[in-house]
């Protein structure tokens, strides 16, 4: 069953990326179908898997709503994350989230370089660390990840981008 779930994640992710890049929206039909398919696959595997996947979806949906309410993610992004969690469960979702953060950091660096704002963002990030602003969030997150230096750079770049007034839509507009 894991192969079918992986294929569904790939199909849902590609379709969501295309929709998001073209229209700036991820359709509910796509994300809710992913959630339903993941839960059905888990149900077929047994009650334990179903309960674990329900927990994963619940945690990710709540986190997505919080991030949406503060303007970090779009609503479709949170529901897409829940669909991926429904199909993959907690363990694989954590890996997906790490890769998404890394890819987002690389895209941010490329976009900032193209807009000739990379220096401004890097200086803002360095000032955040040196200037005495809280950095414990990045350290706490990075302490449990083998790729902590890369994760810390991604956090610094995104924090610097936010400080420079660059919104996530600006970062991904280059791909449209």
- Min mean pLDDT across 55-59, 89-93, 142-146, 149-153 is at 142-146
139: domain range? 2-175
**Residue 90 near residue 98 (C-beta atoms within 8 A):** no
Q: How many domains does the chain have?
A: 1
Of 33-42, 97-106, 123-132, the one with minimum mean pLDDT is 123-132
pLDDT tens track for 52-76:
999 999 999 998 899 889 888 888 9
Share of the chain above pLDDT 70, in %: 72
Residue 138 pLDDT greater than 70, yes or no? no
Encode pLDDT of 1-39 as tens digits. Answer: 578 888 898 889 889 888 887 888 899 999 999 999 999
Does the pLDDT of residue 143 top 90, yes or no? no
Contact (CB, 8 A) for 81 and 59: no
| Distance separating alpha carbons of residues 57 and 78, to the nearest angstrom | 10
């Amino acid at each position: 069953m894991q192969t079918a779930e992986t294929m569904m994640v790939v199909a849902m992710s590609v379709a969501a990326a295309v929709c998001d890049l073209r229209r700036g929206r991820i359709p509910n039909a796509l994300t809710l179908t992913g959630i339903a398919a993941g839960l059905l696959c888990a149900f077929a595997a047994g009650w334990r898997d179903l309960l674990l996947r329900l927990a994963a979806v619940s945690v990710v949906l709540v986190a997505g709503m919080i991030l949406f309410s503060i303007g970090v993610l779009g609503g479709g992004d949170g529901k897409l994350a829940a669909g991926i969690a429904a199909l993959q469960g907690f363990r694989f979702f954590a890996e997906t989230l790490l890769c998404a953060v890394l890819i987002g950091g690389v895209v941010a660096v490329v976009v900032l370089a193209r807009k000739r704002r990379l220096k401004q963002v890097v200086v803002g990030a360095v000032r955040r660390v040196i200037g005495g602003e809280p950095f414990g969030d990045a350290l706490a997150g990075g302490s449990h990840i083998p790729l902590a230096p890369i994760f810390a750079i991604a956090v610094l770049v995104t924090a610097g981008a936010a400080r420079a007034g660059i919104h996530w839509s600006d970062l991904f507009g280059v791909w449209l």
